[in-house]
Structure formats: structure tokens, C-alpha cells
Amino acid sequence: TFQTIDDIEPGQRLLVRIDVNAPVDDGVVQDDRRFARHAETIRELLTDDHAITLLAHQGRPGRETFVSLAQHAEILADHLDRPVDFVPDTVGEQARAAIEDLESGDVLLLENVRMCDGELPEEEPAVKADTDLVGTLADEFDAYVNDAYPTAHRSHASIVGFPVVMDAYAGRVMEQEYTANTAVRGRSFDGPVTMILGGTKAEDVIPVVERLAEEVDRFCLGGVVGELFLRASGHDLGYDVDGTELFDHQWADHGETVERLLSEYGEKIALPTDLASEGGAEGEGEGPRVETPVDEITKETSYLDVGSETIERYTDLVAESGAVYVKGAPGVFEDERFADGTVEILSAIADADCVSVVGGGDTAHAIELYDLAADDFTRVSIAGGAYVRALTGESLPGIEALEEAAR
Ligand code: 3PG
């Protein structure tokens, strides 16, 4: 067990780790679901007269979504209906001056913590506690609150470092998501367990197949993850998005594991039999959706969704399932032309008489974007990797750190 915000004395100077990491298009945040949830925690903390400094991340170095948190402060202010100050600094003099100026009832957001040395990579809590980031900021506060459930699976400084050196508490989002996602494991149902896995984070999804291969009856794969499995089954594909070599890197990291999983559990793994891409000479971003059977796909094409035949097979499997878990979307649903796979499969899950859980940083966003009813699912988590780890019964470093602090 860990301590929660109910255990904090009023009027403290708090450092609150939140997770407002969002899909970003052209530098602009596309989804505010996480902001809405954290606003509830912050509002509750404000009723206890705390002075609140928020710490958060967006994207990862090297990715297009790695941007400043200036706009995040504005979005949060809208949700809170009160000002949220922002400083373009995390541990430097400017940040410390802003923190020192804070009075009870004030809210300040620091710059993207992943811009600081020491935040990444994943290391032991004691190593993370020894970073300049933790050493410098810890002195400014009475206590640390971790509300960033979606990052609880990362052993990063802002997640596991602070609880080593100061009083640490779980925020409401952390508490609620942790409890609900863990409880979902214990739900009873009749019928096969199906997992719909997709998205771009192969490093989060492939271990899920590995760990749950015995428990899950079938995996329906899409997204980049599906493409990695298609490549392992002999298809020549792997178009690089904007020359980022994302696919090749992922293949280099996971190709061998994917090949092994396919040979050991092939009969449980459903792969796309057709894929959708952008066709025509209309110019980038304007061509119509074109579907191609996987036997005819090429490395020169970027595939952005699963095709109609695949969608039909996957929705049939969903309809006869006792439980369906989703992590990662089968297609690039933000573009309506490539939303069919995501929307039709999610709709089939919503209609099915089964236990249904949807997670994945961006996937739950599709529910909102395409007006599906969140109530039709047993549970929609704002977390991706952390939720899926809770499903596999694995412990989360962020939770362990809070438990250790409580001991
Ligand atoms: C997420 O969106 O899953 C979390 O914010 C963690 O982000 P990461 O996968 O870049 O560590």
C-alpha cells in the first residue's frame, strides 16, 4: 500500500508529477483527456491550500511529439478555470525562482522534464535519486505527489527518484487507475480472451504477447506491430515514415523475438490479410484509401490501416469473445481515411457482450474522436504501457516507489 493525498497535511509546498503526454500534430496537442483527469486531482489539492508545482513530459527526444509544455499550461488552465503559470525551465534558476515565488493556491507548470539530463533512461530508484534533477528540486518542496499513472511503468527520475528522498503520495488519478486496472484482471467471464494490439510502440506491445501468450486465446494484430509480424512471416514491408527508420530500428530490436513468438504461438496470432494505403496521384494527404491484399504489398508503400477483410475477421473474433483487451490502434485513425479499422473494431467491442478494456495513450482518444460511448466499455484507461502491464500482473516501478516510501 501507498499513502494518498488524503494523508497530506494542508498548506504544503507540493511537487506533483502529472502525465499530460498527448498526441501532437504539427506541434499542437490533439487530446485533452489526461488534462481533464489531472485537473480533478489539482482542484482537490487546492481546497487544502497547497502551493502546487507540476512536473510533466511530452514525447521523447528525437520524436516529433517532443515539444515544450507551454500550451499544456494553457489547456490545464482551461480545465481548472484558473491561471496555470509556466516557466520554460525545469531545474535552472528561472524554475527555482518561480517555485520560490509560489503562494498557497498557486499552480505552476515546469518545462518538459525529458529535456533534463538524468530523467531518462530507466535506472534503479537509487540511481535516479542521485540525479541533479531530483537533488535540486527535492529541496524546494515539502512533499511529492505522483499522479502520473500512465508513466508508472517507467523507472525515470521524476517517477522513482523523488520517493527515495522525500515524503511521497499517490494522486487521485494514480490511485483510481491503479485500482481499476488491477481489478479488471479479476473479472470473470465466459468465452475466449482476445487482445487487439497495434500502435507504434513495439517495445510496449511485444512483451505483452510474450507474457500473455498462455493466458490469451488470440491476438489480433495491426499498426506497426502487425507489420513487424507480417515481416516475420515473410512479407516484404517496412516503409520508413519521413525517413525516421522507425520500422527498421524496431525490426532490429524486436525482429528475433517476433519470429520466435510467431513460430511458438502462430496459431493464436491473427495477422492482417489486407492493408490500406493512400492511392492516386492527388498528392500527399489527398489520395483515396486503397486496399491491398498482403500478398501484393510492397516496401515502397506506407500502410496506414488494416483492410476490410481483416476488419471483418477481427470483428467476428470480437463478437464471440468473453473478454477483449485493446492496446494500440490498428490504423492511423486521426486521418478519417484510415480510421475504419480502429472505429469498426472498437464499435464491435462496444456492441459485444463481453468484458472490454481499452487502453493505449492514443487509442482511447479514438473513442472520443469518433463519438463512441465510453460507457459501452467495461473500462477505458488513459494509460497505455502502464495499463497493459497491470493486465499482465507485472508490478509498476512508480507504484513500487510509492510503496517503498510508505514503508
Ligand atoms: C504514455 O503515453 O504511454 C506515457 O506518457 C509514457 O510515455 P513513453 O511511452 O514515451 O514513456
* Residues 300, 200 share a domain: yes
Best residue among 30, 32, 34, 154 to mutate for probing ligand 1, ranked by most atoms within 8 Å of CB: 154
Instruction: Tell me if 274 is assigned to some domain.
Output: yes
Q: pLDDT digits over 330-381, tens only?
A: 999 999 999 999 999 999 999 999 999 998 768 888 998 999 998 999 989 9
* Residues 72, 212 share a domain: no
* Residues 249, 104 share a domain: no
For the cut 60, the answer to whether the pLDDT of residue 311 exceeds it is yes
For the cut 80, the answer to whether the pLDDT of residue 240 exceeds it is no
Q: Are 348 and 167 in contact (CB under 8 A)?
A: no
For the cut 80, the answer to whether the pLDDT of residue 34 exceeds it is yes
**Protein residue with its CA nearest to atom 2 in ligand 1:** 361
Give the Å distance between the CA of 280 and the centre of ligand 1. Answer: 35
**Protein residue with its CA nearest to atom 6 in ligand 1:** 151
For the cut 60, the answer to whether the pLDDT of residue 243 exceeds it is no
* Residues 343, 209 share a domain: yes
Instruction: Tell me if 174 is assigned to some domain.
Output: yes
For the cut 90, the answer to whether the pLDDT of residue 45 exceeds it is yes
Please give the pLDDT value at position 248: 82
Q: Is 360 known as a binding-site position?
A: yes
* Residues 195, 111 share a domain: no
- Average pLDDT score over residue span 53-66: 95
Q: Is 114 known as a binding-site position?
A: yes
For the cut 90, the answer to whether the pLDDT of residue 217 exceeds it is yes
Give the Å distance between the CA of 114 and the centre of ligand 1. Answer: 11
* Residues 174, 192 share a domain: no
Q: Is 59 known as a binding-site position?
A: yes
For the cut 80, the answer to whether the pLDDT of residue 192 exceeds it is yes
Cell of 273: 490479410
Instruction: Tell me if 144 is assigned to some domain.
Output: yes
The number of distinct structural domains making up the chain is: 2
Work out the pLDDT band at 286, boundaries 50, 70, 90.
Answer: confident
Residue 137 or 393, more confident? 137
Atom of ligand 1 lying closest to residue 362 CA? 2
Instruction: Tell me if 26 is assigned to some domain.
Output: yes
For the cut 80, the answer to whether the pLDDT of residue 241 exceeds it is no
Q: What ipTM was reported for this prediction?
A: 0.98
Give the Å distance between the CA of 287 and the centre of ligand 1. Answer: 32
Instruction: Tell me if 127 is assigned to some domain.
Output: yes
Q: Is 105 known as a binding-site position?
A: no
For the cut 80, the answer to whether the pLDDT of residue 246 exceeds it is no
Q: Which residues line ligand 1 (CB under 6 A)?
A: 19, 21, 60, 150-151, 154, 361, 384-385
* Residues 336, 204 share a domain: yes
Which domain covers residue 100, as residue numbers?
A: 5-178+396-406
The number of beta carbons lying within 10 Å of the beta carbon of residue 378 is 18
Q: Is 20 known as a binding-site position?
A: yes
Residue 237 or 246, more confident? 237
Q: pLDDT digits over 327-341, tens only?
A: 999 999 999 999 999
Q: pLDDT digits over 88-107, tens only?
A: 999 999 999 999 999 999 99
Best residue among 21, 156, 362 to mutate for probing ligand 1, ranked by most atoms within 8 Å of CB: 21
In SS3 terms, the chain reads as: CCCEHHHCCCCCEEEEECCCCCCEECCEECCCHHHHHHHHHHHHHHCCCCEEEEECCCCCCCCCCCCCCHHHHHHHHHHHCCCCEECCCCCCHHHHHHHHHCCCCCEEECCCHHHCCCCCCCCCHHHHHCCHHHHHHHCCCCEEEECCHHHCCCCCHHHHHHHHHCCEEECHHHHHHHHHHHHHCCCCCCCCEEEEECCCCHHHHHHHHHHHCCCCCEEEECHHHHHHHHHHCCCCCCCCHHHCCHHHHHHHHHHHHHHHHHHHHHHHEECCCEEEEECCCCCCCCCCEEEEEHHHCCCCCCEEEECHHHHHHHHHHHHCCCEEEEECCCCCCCCHHHCHHHHHHHHHHHHCCCEEEEECCCHHHHHHHCCCCHHHCCEECCCCHHHHHHHHCCCCHHHHHHHHHHC
* Residues 14, 155 share a domain: yes
Instruction: Tell me if 385 is assigned to some domain.
Output: no
* Residues 198, 108 share a domain: no
Percent of the chain with pLDDT over 70: 97
Please give the pLDDT value at position 138: 98
Give the Å distance between the CA of 271 and the centre of ligand 1. Answer: 26
Atom of ligand 1 lying closest to residue 154 CA? 11
* Residues 373, 268 share a domain: yes
Instruction: Tell me if 388 is assigned to some domain.
Output: no
Q: Is 3 known as a binding-site position?
A: no
Instruction: Tell me if 135 is assigned to some domain.
Output: yes
Give the Å distance between the CA of 102 and the centre of ligand 1. Answer: 29
* Residues 345, 204 share a domain: yes
**Domain CATH code at residue 254:** 3.40.50.1260
The number of beta carbons lying within 10 Å of the beta carbon of residue 373 is 8
Work out the pLDDT band at 282, boundaries 50, 70, 90.
Answer: low
Give the Å distance between the CA of 202 and the centre of ligand 1. Answer: 13
* Residues 203, 283 share a domain: yes
